Each structure stands twice: as C-alpha cells, then as structure tokens.
A and B are shown apart, each in its own frame.
Chain A
Amino acid sequence: MTAVHTLDVRGLLCPLPVIRTQNRVRDLEDGEVLEVVASDPGVLHDIPAWCRIHGHRVLACDERENDILFRIEVARG
C-alpha cells in the first residue's frame, strides 16, 4: 500500500502553503500521496492550480470548519 505523507500548513497565508507543498512533493515518488491541511482559503484556488501546472492529481479537497484538507497524488515525468 502506498504511504500517505502529511503536511500541516495551517496558519500560513498564500503563497506559503503552496511553497511548502511544492517543496514536500519534490521529495516524493510517482504515485505517492500527500495530505495537506491548510487554513487560508487562498489554497482552494492555488493548490489545484499548482497541481494542474505540474501534472499532480488532486484526489480530494474537503473543507472542515476552519481547515481545508487536500489529498494530492504525485505524478512524475
């Protein structure tokens, strides 16, 4: 089973959550999944845009109270 990695960027404002996500994804392999939990609503726009640019897949995006949770599947190549 593929390992799920996690990243907590709550309290950070855009573009920092995207930067942290980008830097974390850099170390992951093709098919690995990263769960990002954020609080700035700006990520609702920025993280999917960043994923589209780099070819990664947004598997899920859930808003829970003040948290926004993304599941991203890393694509390489």
Chain B
Amino acid sequence: MIGKDSKTLLDVQGLRATVNGIEILKGMDLTIKSGEVHAIMGPNGSGKSTFAKVLAGHPAYVVTGGSVQFEGKDLFVLAPEARARAGLFLGFQYPIEIPGVANAQFLRLAYNTVQTQHGKDELDPLEFDDFVREKMKLLEMNPDFLDRSVNEGFSGGEKKRNEILQMALLEPRVAILDETDSGLDIDALRIVAGGVNQLANKDNAVVLVTHYQRLLNYIEPDYVHVMDAGRIIKTGPKALALELESRGYDWVSAEARAGAGAAA
C-alpha cells in the first residue's frame, strides 16, 4: 500500500555489478518505500537474481558503480550478515541444501542472531520449538521439517515454504522474494501468499521477483517493474503484469529502445 507518510527503505541509484568480469547490472534504479509491494518481472537472464544477490552481499558479485541506501545508510559498507540483521531478507530462487545442519538448529540460530541485534533475549531450543511451530502452522508446514537437514531432499515447493518460514521468523524490513512462487502447487501458492500478506505491513516492504502474474492476484503489487539486460526499462501499475502476460516482453524492449533513441 502506498502511504502518505511512508519512509524510503531502499534507494538504488545507477547500480552496476559484474560477475566473473561480466557486467550484469547496468544501471539499476529503484526506490522502495515502507508499506509498498513491488514486483520485478523480466526475461530469463535479465539480471533479477543478480540484483537480489548483490543486495544481499553475495561474494561472487562485484559492485562497480552506483549506490544503494538502506534506511538512509550505505548498504555496501555492511557485511552480508549485518545486512540481514539490519532487516534485509533474500528469499532465494534456489535455496541451498545444508546436509548435517538440522533445520530447527539453523532457524533458531538465525532467529536468535536477529533477536540479539534488537536487544531481545535469545530463545532456548524448547522455547524456540513452541515458537517456530506456531509460525509453521501459518504456512501449513509439517513440523517434521524441523528435524531434517536444512533443505536437504526438500521438494522445490517445500524449500520455498522454508524460505517464507525464515522470513516469518526474521520479520525483515525489506524482503526480496526471488521466484518464491515457482514450483509451488496451487494450494501452496495460496498459503505462501497468505503468509506474505500477513507479514506485510505499513512499516516494511516486499519485492516479488516473478514470472507469473498469478502470484500478483494474491499479493497485490503497487508497482510492476520490467527488467531487461541489467536495467529496469519500464514501471507501471498492477495492470502491467496482465499486459505482459498476454503480450510478452518484446514490445517493452522495443518501446525502451525507441525511448532511448528519441532521447539521444
């Protein structure tokens, strides 16, 4: 929801980044305010996940230009863990499997780290168990997933639910959900979307990276951005997603090229 007295949470200006010496992000601009839901769409390989990982601080990506302010402060001076503790959350497109680390242990460590950051008490394993089970109910997740290794052998949809569970525990300021809808069945999509809606409020913001406007029926975006070749080339209201669904991306790219030509 676009609010009157909302604050700018994330301000991305002219962001450029490379991986293995190849420039992937070529001048990203994006401003996100509290209470807003943004959707980022765009063809495969346009740089959506790269953008998300650059924000989260993945070491493989090198920022070569531009700036990102997170709640008014330079994001890039923070280590990845400090970004997470400050309230930036990335729901991974491909969540990592960690054999041997029990999901419950991982979730508790993450939760406690963020609690400590906020000057609150840590939960011991028993207290945490009660707490996390409540959160899992919200996502209709089987508690058996607590005892298994982090994401190991989880189905695609189960991994995505586990990502949202982490979001529910960490209560981030800005959550970037990279294709959280991919791989979810119809019921799971509704449940996960319901979870995200419950977590969204006037003080935080959600960025949904998605290929399908179906998700946007459940989580209503305030803005839909189209990314192509490392930049946002068009921004519109929710209706833009419907238009993209029926017409594809070519016309947006053509429009962008024409616009660039006219400006030149």
A and B from one complex: no
A binding-site residues for B, Cβ under 8 Å: none
